[in-house]
Structure 1
Amino acid sequence: MSKSTLTCLATTLIAAWGVGPALAGDYLQVEPGVDLYYEDHGTGLPIVLVPGWTFTTEVFEHQIATFAKTHRVITFDPRSHGRSTVTMEGNNYVTQGADLAKLVDHLGVEKPVLVGWSFGCLATWEFVKIRSTDAASAHMCIDLSPTPMTGKEGDWTEGSIADISGLYDGVQSAKGHRDAIHWYADEVMIEQDYTPELARWIEDQSTQSPPWVAAAYWAAGNFSNYLVTAKEIDAKLPSSFVVAEHWADTARPYLAKHTPNSDVHVFGGHMMFWEYPDKFNRILAGFVSQIE
């Protein structure tokens, strides 16, 4: 019995027995043997939330709780992430963008507001690249440069080539993957105390992807270049970047040069949308109000 069939059966039983709310989650087979877990909440203008490298729908808990009251909010675990199928093929952002397009088609969504976090922005940019700017109403990228690795001094990137290759080396084993995400979350993602409970929640999400998947996505993400697409979005759609404070001095001039029409908001760490949801949600609400 497939994951999709099991989910539908569970939904039917819950509705019949009156035990708790109906499930918002379901599965879409994006290709034979590959089921994508997604959630579809609320009604209204669709907002599509795409998690970053090895993360899941759980990171958007505060956005779902707020925006599903007034909007249709869709999010998903990309292939080989979370509850979706772990697959040998397609662990890259070209495929992830194509999977996103299939999900949007499956749900009958037209012109969504696309919101990507970190490497999730690569999937939203890929979606626009293959579908055109006419396929979206607006685009928000949370804390990622369209050029994650360039080797050029002064560019907004994910770090030096040595830093990027060091993390790639680190995630080659299960222990290395957990150690890497522990360090990254404590030093880059989260500003509050990184308690054992918070560490377990973050690290358990990331490590649902096997180390070889994490390494494949890390390499694919850093070798991506969506500057042309980001410029096209900047010229034709409402566009916004939300940037962590540690990137501000580099990101602001980079974005002013390449995407001058885009709004830029700077605060918090890499996971500021989760850590400071009230502030982030006000920014997203103001952004969405431009097109409503």
Structure 2
Amino acid sequence: MTAQPQSEPVLIQLGARPEEAVQLVGPDTRASYPPDVLTRLHSDADVVVARYPQARSALLPLLHLVQAEDGCLTPAGIEFCSEVLELTGAEVTAVATFYSMYRREPTGTYRVGVCTNTLCAVMGGDAIMDTLREHLDIDHGETTADGTITLEHIECNAACDYAPVMMVNWEFFDNSTPSSARDLVDSLRSGAQVTPTRGAPLCTFRETERILAGFADDRPGALESSGSAGEASLAGLRYAHEHSMSAPQAVAGSPDGHPDLGAEAVAETVREKPAPAPSATVPPQPNTTETDPPTKGK
């Protein structure tokens, strides 16, 4: 028998891309909290954990809490969450590194995100991102030297009717342009008060993280319903009101909770009907006709 030639081994590199920040340990990261900070964090954590029937369910808001303290996740924050919830550091880190909302590197006062998903990209999102990278002299994921702006690509945030969309600390800036984006970051860096398209005036990234941890949002107008959705999102509801449209009333149900539709309606629903012939639903393939013989082996 002839010996089979040996194939070259295929090497597969597992793990993160070289440019991806995955380490929570760095030269300036906090390894532990001083006693006064621990006392304050424990007080806040008690409030958060008490909201859940199982303590470990509070992990996500607690990660926001420690991120509010440090501006990103640190070994000190991971250790704190582990201790409070009686989880291992590996369990906490596995969750923390799964979600993109948890930062692994220091974050600026304002986290500026540009949506570059398909619709926003073709509407100008890519141009906005290129403009900001050049204007701020930083790349995706980097922070300006003054610590004010961290620039990032963001995934779709369900505001496609206002594309292209930017978000600053998770607040919407709709129908953005390269010019408006440049003016926005200049205002943020100058210390001016900026109000998003919808919602209350901006607060800092760390203040936003505390709100996401479940604490009160005390900004003026934060709880006003007028800031919950824009006109384009409410177009369907407005049309329904103008034409006196409403959802159908629920039908009184049987004791088991299912609507009592009546025997005739049930019979119509479950009536057996013959399946359509394949030729009636499956169109012929391109460059073939219904009379072409089938290809052997298919």
Q: Bigger relative contact order, structure 1 or 2, given CA contacts below 8 A and separation 6+?
A: 1
More strand by share: 1
Pair in the same fold by TM > 0.5: no
More helix by share: 1
Q: TM-score, normalised by structure 1?
A: 0.21
Q: Which has the larger radius of gyration?
A: 2
